Chains A and B, each alone.
Chain A
Amino acid sequence: MEARRNKKNEVTLKPPIASVGILGWMRKNLFSTPLNTILTLIIISLFWFSILPFLRWALIDASWLPGANCKESGGACWSVISSNYKMILFGFYPQDILWRPITAILMLITLLFISRNRNYWNSFLGYAWGISLVIIGILLKGGIFGLESVEIEKWGGIILTLLLSVFGLTAAYPLGVILALGRQSRMPMIKTFCVFYIEFIRGVPLISLLFMSSVVFPLFLPKGFAIHAVLRAQVAIIMFTAAYIAEVVRGGLQGMNKGQYEAADSLGLNYSQTMRLIILPQALKIVIPPSVSILISAFKDTSLVVIIGLYDLLKTTKTALSEPKWMGFSTEAYIFLAVIYFICCFFMSTYSRKLEKELNTGLE
Chain B
Amino acid sequence: MAITIYQKNSKPISFWYDPDKRSILYQVGAVCLLTFVAWYLISNTLINLERQSVTTGFGFLNKEAAFEIGESLVSYSAVDRYAKALLVGFLNTLLVSFIGILLTVILGTIIGIARLSKNWLVKKCAGVYIELFQDIPILLQLFFWYALFNEMLPSPREAISPFKGLFLCNRGLIFGIPQSHPVHVYMAIAFLIAIIAIVILKKWAAKRQNSTGQIFPVFYTSTALIVGLPLICWLIGGAPTDMNIPELKGFNFKGGIGVSPEFTALLLGLVLYTAAFVAEVVRAGIQSVSKGQTEAAMAIGLKPGQVLNLIVLPQALRVIIPPLTSQMLNLTKNSSLAVAIGYPDFVSVAGTVINQTGQAIEGVMLIMVVYLFFSISTSAFMNWYNKKMAIVER
Interfacial residues, chain A to chain B (CB-CB below 8 A): 29-30, 32, 36, 39-40, 43-44, 186-190, 193, 200, 202-205, 207-208, 211-212, 215-216, 218-223, 296, 300-301, 303-304, 306-307, 314, 318, 328-331, 334-335, 337-338, 341-342, 345-346, 349
Cβ of A334 and Cβ of B144 under 8 Å apart? yes
A-B contact pairs, 5 of them (CB 8 A): A29-B120, A203-B374, A223-B47, A346-B131, A349-B134
* CA A300 to CA B371, docked complex, whole Å: 21
| A306 contacts across to B, CB distance below 8 A | 139, 340
Interfacial residues, chain B to chain A (CB-CB below 8 A): 23, 26-27, 30-31, 34, 41, 44-45, 47-49, 51, 117-122, 125, 131-132, 134-141, 143-144, 147-148, 151-152, 333-334, 336-337, 339-340, 347, 351, 354, 360-361, 363-364, 367-368, 371-372, 374-376
Cβ of A338 and Cβ of B140 under 8 Å apart? yes
How far does the Cβ of B360 sit from chain A's closest Cβ, in whole Å?
4
* CA A318 to CA B361, docked complex, whole Å: 29
Asked if A200 meets B339 with Cβ closer than 8 Å, knowing A215-B354, A219-B45, the reply is no
How far does the Cβ of B41 sit from chain A's closest Cβ, in whole Å?
5
| A334 contacts across to B, CB distance below 8 A | 140, 143-144, 147
Cβ of A335 and Cβ of B144 under 8 Å apart? yes
Q: A190-B30, A202-B375, A220-B45 are in contact. List 11 more A-B contacts (CB 8 A).
A: A29-B120, A36-B122, A189-B30, A189-B31, A208-B336, A211-B347, A211-B354, A306-B340, A330-B151, A334-B140, A349-B135
* CA A189 to CA B23, docked complex, whole Å: 10
Cβ of A190 and Cβ of B27 under 8 Å apart? yes
Cβ of A211 and Cβ of B376 under 8 Å apart? no
For A203, the closest partner residue in chain B by CB is B375
| A188 contacts across to B, CB distance below 8 A | 27
How far does the Cβ of A81 sit from chain B's closest Cβ, in whole Å?
15
| B23 contacts across to A, CB distance below 8 A | 186-187
| A221 contacts across to B, CB distance below 8 A | 44, 48
For B359, the closest partner residue in chain A by CB is A215
| A223 contacts across to B, CB distance below 8 A | 47-48, 51
How far does the Cβ of B14 sit from chain A's closest Cβ, in whole Å?
15
| B139 contacts across to A, CB distance below 8 A | 303-304, 306-307, 314
Q: A328: which of B34, B151, B337 is its contact (CB, 8 Å)? A: B151
* CA A222 to CA B143, docked complex, whole Å: 38
Q: B371: which of A40, A205, A219, A341 is its contact (CB, 8 Å)? A: A205
Interchain residue pairs A-B with the least CB separation, the first 6: A345-B135, A203-B375, A29-B120, A300-B137, A205-B333, A215-B360
| B48 contacts across to A, CB distance below 8 A | 218-219, 221, 223
Asked if A303 meets B137 with Cβ closer than 8 Å, knowing A187-B23, A203-B375, A334-B147, the reply is yes
Looking at chain B's contact residues, is the secondary structure mostly helix, strand, loop, or mixed?
helix
* CA A314 to CA B30, docked complex, whole Å: 41
Cβ of B138 and Cβ of A300 under 8 Å apart? yes
How far does the Cβ of A105 sit from chain B's closest Cβ, in whole Å?
19
For A299, the closest partner residue in chain B by CB is B137
Cβ of A307 and Cβ of B27 under 8 Å apart? no
Asked if A212 meets B347 with Cβ closer than 8 Å, knowing A205-B336, A223-B47, A338-B144, the reply is no
* CA A330 to CA B146, docked complex, whole Å: 10
| B119 contacts across to A, CB distance below 8 A | 29-30, 32, 36, 39-40
Cβ of B371 and Cβ of A208 under 8 Å apart? yes
Q: B351: which of A193, A211, A296 is its contact (CB, 8 Å)? A: A211
| B34 contacts across to A, CB distance below 8 A | 193
How far does the Cβ of A44 sit from chain B's closest Cβ, in whole Å?
8
For B46, the closest partner residue in chain A by CB is A219
| B374 contacts across to A, CB distance below 8 A | 203
Cβ of A331 and Cβ of B147 under 8 Å apart? yes
| A212 contacts across to B, CB distance below 8 A | 364
Most chain B CB within 10 A, of A200, A208, A307, is at: A208
For B123, the closest partner residue in chain A by CB is A29
Asked if A219 meets B136 with Cβ closer than 8 Å, knowing A36-B118, A203-B376, A208-B367, the reply is no
Cβ of A43 and Cβ of B371 under 8 Å apart? no
* CA A188 to CA B31, docked complex, whole Å: 11
For B147, the closest partner residue in chain A by CB is A330
* CA A75 to CA B41, docked complex, whole Å: 56
| A304 contacts across to B, CB distance below 8 A | 139, 337
| B152 contacts across to A, CB distance below 8 A | 331
| B363 contacts across to A, CB distance below 8 A | 211, 215
How far does the Cβ of A349 sit from chain B's closest Cβ, in whole Å?
7
| A301 contacts across to B, CB distance below 8 A | 137
How far does the Cβ of A227 sit from chain B's closest Cβ, in whole Å?
13
* CA A237 to CA B51, docked complex, whole Å: 29
Asked if A341 meets B147 with Cβ closer than 8 Å, knowing A40-B119, A212-B364, A215-B354, the reply is no
Cβ of A337 and Cβ of B140 under 8 Å apart? yes
Asked if A303 meets B140 with Cβ closer than 8 Å, knowing A30-B119, A205-B347, the reply is yes
| A296 contacts across to B, CB distance below 8 A | 135
How far does the Cβ of A197 sit from chain B's closest Cβ, in whole Å?
11
How far does the Cβ of B154 sit from chain A's closest Cβ, in whole Å?
13
How far does the Cβ of B217 sit from chain A's closest Cβ, in whole Å?
25
For A202, the closest partner residue in chain B by CB is B375
* CA A300 to CA B136, docked complex, whole Å: 7
| B361 contacts across to A, CB distance below 8 A | 216, 219
Cβ of B364 and Cβ of A208 under 8 Å apart? yes
* CA A205 to CA B346, docked complex, whole Å: 12
Cβ of B376 and Cβ of A204 under 8 Å apart? no
For A337, the closest partner residue in chain B by CB is B140
How far does the Cβ of B225 sit from chain A's closest Cβ, in whole Å?
29
| A337 contacts across to B, CB distance below 8 A | 140
| A30 contacts across to B, CB distance below 8 A | 119-121
Q: A190: which of B26, B141, B372 is its contact (CB, 8 Å)? A: B26
| B132 contacts across to A, CB distance below 8 A | 342
| A187 contacts across to B, CB distance below 8 A | 23, 26-27
Most chain B CB within 10 A, of A186, A205, A306, A330, is at: A205
Cβ of B118 and Cβ of A32 under 8 Å apart? yes
| A204 contacts across to B, CB distance below 8 A | 333, 367-368, 371-372, 375
For A313, the closest partner residue in chain B by CB is B140
* CA A328 to CA B334, docked complex, whole Å: 27
How far does the Cβ of A195 sit from chain B's closest Cβ, in whole Å?
12
Asked if A220 meets B41 with Cβ closer than 8 Å, knowing A203-B376, A300-B138, the reply is yes
* CA A223 to CA B354, docked complex, whole Å: 21
How far does the Cβ of B144 sit from chain A's closest Cβ, in whole Å?
4
For B28, the closest partner residue in chain A by CB is A189
How far does the Cβ of B352 sit from chain A's closest Cβ, in whole Å?
12
Cβ of B347 and Cβ of A341 under 8 Å apart? no
